[in-house]
Structure 1
Amino acid sequence: MPEKIRVLIADDHPLIRQGLEIVIEEQPDMELVAQAVDGLDAVAKALATRPDVALLDLKMPKQDGLMAMQQIQEALPKTSCIILTSFTDDVQVLEAIEAGAKGFLNKDSNHEDLLGAIRAVSRGDAALHPAAARVLMQSYKASRQPAVAGNALTPMELRVLQLLATGASNRELAATLGVSVRTVTTHVRNILDKLQLKNRTQAALYARENRLTDPHS
């Protein structure tokens, strides 16, 4: 029997936590392993339970969801994080994705979308609310310069760009390529400079649009 997806939820509103608890515990392929009431509590309980997926409210007391997510991912790189919010502010979306969120959902999402997002990020895929996806595409198009040929990149930079299109973090890239995280960071910075892009999310969109994705994925 397949292992259940271990889920942590963090939200400072009891009603939100209770609603998420009911939905998740009804799923035969999911297990709720912890509930947290703020960002600091989320980090502590993630370290204690090592969830597969963490659902984090963006705005929480003591420490916000982005800070909690970064600390969780630093300690638990295999934990995928989904940011939940009542808002869909352009800056918040870009900051969350840039910080490493594998999912970004508005709290108006229905149960099917939420459960689908949990399953998707547990497989290593991304899951974005339609409004968040539009923000990313608009940001990309607004700053996009005329396409630069793939051969403007070194072979290693091209390989990093291909892997960026899969949504991999710098730590995951380093493990795949057998190099240090610092080396990956340097390659990503060079890619952004050469392609005149603002962030790794735009680089991933560039790779997909120009069919520079990993041929082995």
Structure 2
Amino acid sequence: LIKDKDIVLTHCNAGMLATAGHGTALSIFYEAKKKGKKFKVYADETRPLMQGSRLTMWELMKNGIDATLICDDMAASTIRNKGVTKIIVGADRIARNGDAANKIGTYGLAVLAKYHNIPFYIAAPSSTIDHNIKTGKDIPIEERKREELIYVGAKQTAPIKAKVYNPAFDVTPARLITAIITESGVYDIKGFRRI
């Protein structure tokens, strides 16, 4: 999946700190490095809990991956100006039709990938596929505490009475996903619907 000179963007944490072994999306990078591939990774910070900066960057650096941290709002600019060739993210739940729920911001990255004509991959264990859920519309989305947006760490950065909308996840429609990668293979959406 990773070729020499690839420039990959990833979102949130889908590594060993998020799941068993080397993780899902990040394990693809570790395997490519083991095979001698030369590539770069841009990891976004993943607001509001900063899993990209706190966890993903730590894992990538620990494993010797050429990685650069970006702010979430830099994704479009990074894709255009740094020549991103593909986006690889994890998923928390995948519906029967291939719609995938992941950390908030994933859907926006899929839209950017489509606009820039680059592949968008979901990497997740097959246990993430919920055959009881027909489409992404049926995936419940957790609404997180307002304090996550009012404060950055212990520092208040917004008015204490500000209204807050803070969903933890969003759903990426299957039509924006190039392929879903599981431990049993890489499936385009038509192929995925048959597993």
Q: Return the structure number with greater helix share.
A: 1
| Fold match by TM threshold 0.5 | no
Structure ID, larger Rg: 1
TM-score (norm 2): 0.39
Higher-strand-fraction structure: 2
TM-score (norm 1): 0.36
